[in-house]
Chain A
Amino acid sequence: MNQSALTARNVSLVSCHSCHLLCEMRSGHQNRHLTCPRCGAALHQRKINSLARTWALVLAAFVCYIPANVLPITHITSLGHVQSDTIMSGVIYFTVSGSWPIALVIFVASVFVPLAKLIILTFLLISVQRKTNWRQKDRTGLYRITEVIGRWSMVDIYVVTILVALVKMGALATIEAGLGAVFFGAVVVITMFAAMTFDPRLIWDTKEQHNEGTNQ
């Protein structure tokens, strides 16, 4: 009667992470290194150490997020005068000078998206650890959002790359990348890995445990 309990894990099957083939999980093989008979990927019922790895990556990203926003990402040298810009000072410059659509794009991609992604992942990690079965479908939706939006944070890195390539006018104007760009790139890469290591099935695992509890 209880349909929600019919998951691959409850019937000793493993779904391959790579080709989605359902494989049998024979007892006795539990400790051995199993591979998918079709595509050869390693088989796990859940991503290995998902919570610990995601926590580590999320914390590392939080740490890098600070220098990414405090340190300058570009140094503009114009007629001997050097001006250093952080991400936020660029956003403020564009709102003041009237190009608010650009200011909005940079703010959303570089400030809002990485932070939103980190907060969502932290929230998902805590909610999974508390074994709550509160709004599981919506939480899976939140996870999908973090998977999709992360890549768009790279915009600022690309803008710096293009500016550095184009603005080489000798004494007139040159642009150099700042240390903030390195940390910012690290934030983007680390949060992408964090989204990949998080296993959304953990959100649903508590439900089955609850149901089993009420059935017995």
Chain B
Amino acid sequence: MNDEERFSEWVREALREIEPPPAPREEMWARIEQVRRSRRRNGDHPWLVNAIRWSLPLAATLVIGIGIGRLTAGRSASEPAFVETPGIVALPASTEPALPYRVAAVQHLVRTEALLTSLREDTRSGDTTDISGWARDLLTNTRLLIDSPASQDVQLGRLLEDLELILAQIAALDGAPPADELELIEDGIQRNDMITRLRNATNAPAFAGT
């Protein structure tokens, strides 16, 4: 056993001594059931409940998004109110309950794409204060959207969850991070094909109806 292995064994043993207490199964289950019961009760009109809960922090984005949507819809009365492509149908604005969230999501994804594409340029100076602050703001909105009806769209939900991890890494950058930190983040962006997925999401026919 070499020095590193001996050291690791010592650390492992010391930490294993701090044995977790038994899981408080019943207490946790009671809380889980309570939350799930409450959600089922609100299930009669979940969109309304969630809209109230999530629309406040996203209000600014929603106002812009809905405004754009109305302008687009009002361009011509003869234009169809929805776009239909084989296999994908975007519902008319008035009948799609999650529409405001999808509009908010598009606005959010456009901003996030801007951050990811400028990551290397913005970190070249060695000062990551601006970009980590920007990422923190986007991270907050990403989490709001993950828990909003927008993520009922499976692909969008997955995209938001992948973004959450990457934005969390960028938000954690501090001062002049080592090159390997940035490489890991960029590797994550490339490995998950984030830029292409962001562009596809914001150009998807389902969003064109907005």
Q: Do A and B bind each other?
A: no
